[in-house]
Amino acid sequence: MEKIEDLNFLKDKELLSNLRNIIQLKKSFEENQGIIEVPLKHKVYVIKKVSNKRNEALLYRAYASLSRYLASNYEISELIVDNLVTDSSTVQVISELAMLATYSSKKQELRNVILRYLHKRDSSFLKEIDAKIDAVVKAKQMLNASPTEKTPARLVKKLKDDLKKVGNVNVKVLCGQELKDWGLVNYVARGSKRDPCVIIASYMPVKDKKPVGIAGKGIIFDAGGYNYKLRWIEYMKYDMAGAIASIYTVYAVAKAGLKVNVVGAAVFAENLISEDAYKPGDIIKSLSGKTVEVGNTDAEGRLVLADLLWYFQETFDLTYLIDLATLTGASLIALGEEVAAVMGNDEALAHALQNIGLRIEERCWHLPLWDEIYKEKLRSHFADIKNISPKPWGSPIIGGMFLKYFIKPNIKWAHIDITPAAFTETHTWKGEAGATGYGIRLLYEFLKRGSQ
């Protein structure tokens, strides 16, 4: 028995107790139990028990926390992940969380913890894990990078290059004059010298079947414009997390070879301050033809998304349309860290996303979008709609209600405000501080279930 004492970052005493109940197997399993045929050169760790194996959340935290500990303290080690449970879907989640917990924020890479399985796993099981982890790691690297080094053109080029490597993905890029009718996007980008760009990635392996659309907000850096941010500005490089998740979801699905049609699209721009930047009080004509009064330049994410969502609906015949955006800081106040807000015009879709998120530890909680209560809050005297409410109450819902104004009645749509889950300021059981890559695993699982 090896005592592990440096796990005090965990506040859950029950979990801490479980993690200290660890068997360290020396030399090889061959000597100990004859489970693995070839000798292993490194120490192998097994969680002997978790007080309640039926509590999946506790299981996930135990394996991820131990994996992070091993990665931080040993050059290389091995961890058995299916000794307590054998169900493939649960073991897959454990594997993903255990691997991602080893990610180093300073090195921007996974560290050497090898996962071992006592029970035989087929190639598709391992292929899916590899695809999702690869996508999340790429997303983390892109989001954690210096915002000064990132421009819309550079980002779409990098994303296009990555998508080419997996194959079977059709990529289209729109920049400059190609976006001349995208009024909301262009106004938001006025404060920057860099033109906005849009990337559309289509993976369509199934004939004669409508795709799922995934839209992402990509504000590369959000200073707030003339409504300048006074808080959290150092974290605004993560304001493109929704855009990155939308594209790398397509990447993961294509790499794993899922038989499901999906189109991911992301809009990239910067919301900065200059003599040309858009201003409170501006009236803007959107791609849809509807006009928007700007009440606050720091409510820019919903503006660029409105144009993108309209483009999606005009261009593709979709089964579902889902958007991801770090839309409101108020969602973090409402739900706390780790839990995104989901809302939309289809109760079944919102609840499906909530249930999947709970199952795989990418949690989200369903909020209402009641027209009779919230629509009036966005009334404008000068335009079809205003981008904020005069009062701050229910801000995440108000953001969702604004987007709903640009959704056609026949479209099943969900909006996920990922602000609480897109990044973490401190180390947690899931891993070190920085971007989380939230949304990729959630939407992958949603798409996978739709393909079955």
Strand 212-222 with 320-325, pairing: parallel
What DSSP assignment string belongs to 193-228? Answer: SSPPEEEEEEE--STT-PPEEEEEEEEEEE--TTS-
CA 93 to chain centre: 16
Contact 274, 191 (CB under 8 A): yes
Q: Is 302 an active-site residue? A: yes
Question: CA 72 → CA 65, 66, 168, 307, distances in Å?
Answer: 11, 10, 38, 44
Cβ density class 228-251: b for 16+ within 10 Å, e for less: ebeeeeebbbbbbbbbbbbbbbbb
CA 214 – CA 144 distance, rounded (Å): 22
Q: In what helix (H) or strand (E) does residue 133 lie, and over which residues does it extend?
A: helix 123-144
Beta-sheet strands, E only, within 60-187: 77-80, 113-116, 170-175
Contact 80, 114 (CB under 8 A): no
Helix (H, G, I), strand (E, B) or coil at 365: strand
Contact 447, 263 (CB under 8 A): no
Set 132, 150, 302, 441: catalytic member:
302
CA 367 – CA 12 distance, rounded (Å): 28
CA 215 – CA 266 distance, rounded (Å): 6
Q: In what helix (H) or strand (E) does residue 93 lie, and over which residues does it extend?
A: helix 88-100
Set 49, 121, 157, 229: catalytic member:
229
Q: Is 154 an active-site residue? A: no
Closest CA to 105 of 435, 449, 444: 435
Residues belonging to the active site: 229, 302
